[in-house]
Amino acid sequence: MSISTNFSEGRVERKSEDIDWLRKILAVDYPGYFLPYLEEDRELNSDDTKGITTRIAEIEGFLNKIMRCTPFQFSRHVQVFFEEHNTKKFT
């Protein structure tokens, strides 16, 4: 899926698993920091444009919220998440 935030230039292509990776790694690297809720990934049919649009909005909202926290802005994992083209790094 293609996502963007208020803190990145352009859009990036990421899978739902990549978002899960970022959330998990931030929870480990920043214990005690609040990570916004992100609803569990759900199976979506490629014809379900409304569901896909809703999921993208949820993910973009999640990313915008974490980027309001200064330590997350400088996290090397967040920077890699937005800059890396090889998504195998998110495993």
What are the pLDDT tens digits along the chain (91 aa)? Answer: 666 666 666 677 888 888 889 999 999 999 999 998 888 777 777 787 888 888 888 888 898 898 888 999 889 998 888 887 766 666 6
Among 54, 61, 17, 21, CA closest to 38: 61
Radius of gyration of the chain (CA): 13
pTM over 0.85: no
- Are 5 and 63 in contact, with CB atoms under 8 Å apart? yes
Spatial distance between the Cα atoms of 34 and 49, rounded to a whole number of angstroms: 31
